[in-house]
Chains A and B, each alone.
Chain A
C-alpha cells in the first residue's frame, strides 16, 4: 500500500526566504512522486515529478525537489519565496501501474509575508 504524509498544514515564510515543504511517502514498489500547486479558485497544477530518473527534479517557478530513498522523502524547496508562491501545495505518490492511481497528501498552505 502507498501513502504520503505532508508535515505542516500551514507554512509561513517571508518574501525572499527559503521555502521548504515536507513530504514523506510509503511505497512497496519504486514510486512516482509528484508535487502539485493549487492557487486560489483554481485546479491543481503539476509543479514537478520524479519518475526514477534524476533524484533532483526541477519544476516550474523555480521550485525543485529531491528524492531521498533512504529517508523516504520528497521535500519541495525554493531558494527565495515570492509573494506569488502563496498557494496550497500537494504531494502525491503513485507507481504508474495498472491502476494509475495517485495518493494525495492533505496539502500544505504556504503563506508569504512581505
Chain B
C-alpha cells in the first residue's frame, strides 16, 4: 500500500481565497483523522470520521473550516475564506478500529496564507 496520500504538499494562497486539502487513506482503514500542527499550538485534532461519518468535529476552529468524506477512499478539508492565522501543516491520518496499530500519517500539506 502507498500509505496515506495527501495533496498538495505545499499550498500558498491569498487571504480570502478558498483552500481545499485532500487525503486518500489506506485502503481498508475505517477511521480518518485531520490534524493541524503549528509551532504555537502543537498537534491539534480537528475532526475525525468513522466509516465516512464525522464523529467529532469539536476541534474545528470555526465555521470557515469544513470537512467531508464522500467515500472510504477520499476526504477533503476546506477553508473558506482563508486567513493568515490558518497557516500551518495539516496532516491526515487513518487507522483500523480496535487493532491497536495506531495511526498512519500522511506527509502533510504545508499551507501558507499571505
Contacts and interface: CB of A to CB of B under 8 A. Distances in A.
Interface residues of B, number: 25
Interface stretch (B11-19, B77-85, B105-113): B105-113
Interface string A44-83: 1110010100000000000000000000000000000000
A104 interface: yes
A46 B102 contact: yes
Dominant secondary structure of chain B at its interface with chain A? strand
Nearest to B30: A100
A46 B99 contact: no
Interface in A11-43: 32, 34, 36, 41-43
The number of chain A residues touching the other chain, given as a range, is 20 to 34
Q: Which of B99, B103, B106 has the most CB of A within 10 A?
A: B103
A97 B98 contact: yes
Interface in B16-73: 31, 42-43, 45, 48, 50, 55-56
B13 to A, nearest CB: 19
Interface of A: 32, 34, 36, 41-46, 49, 51, 90, 92, 94, 96-102, 104, 106-107
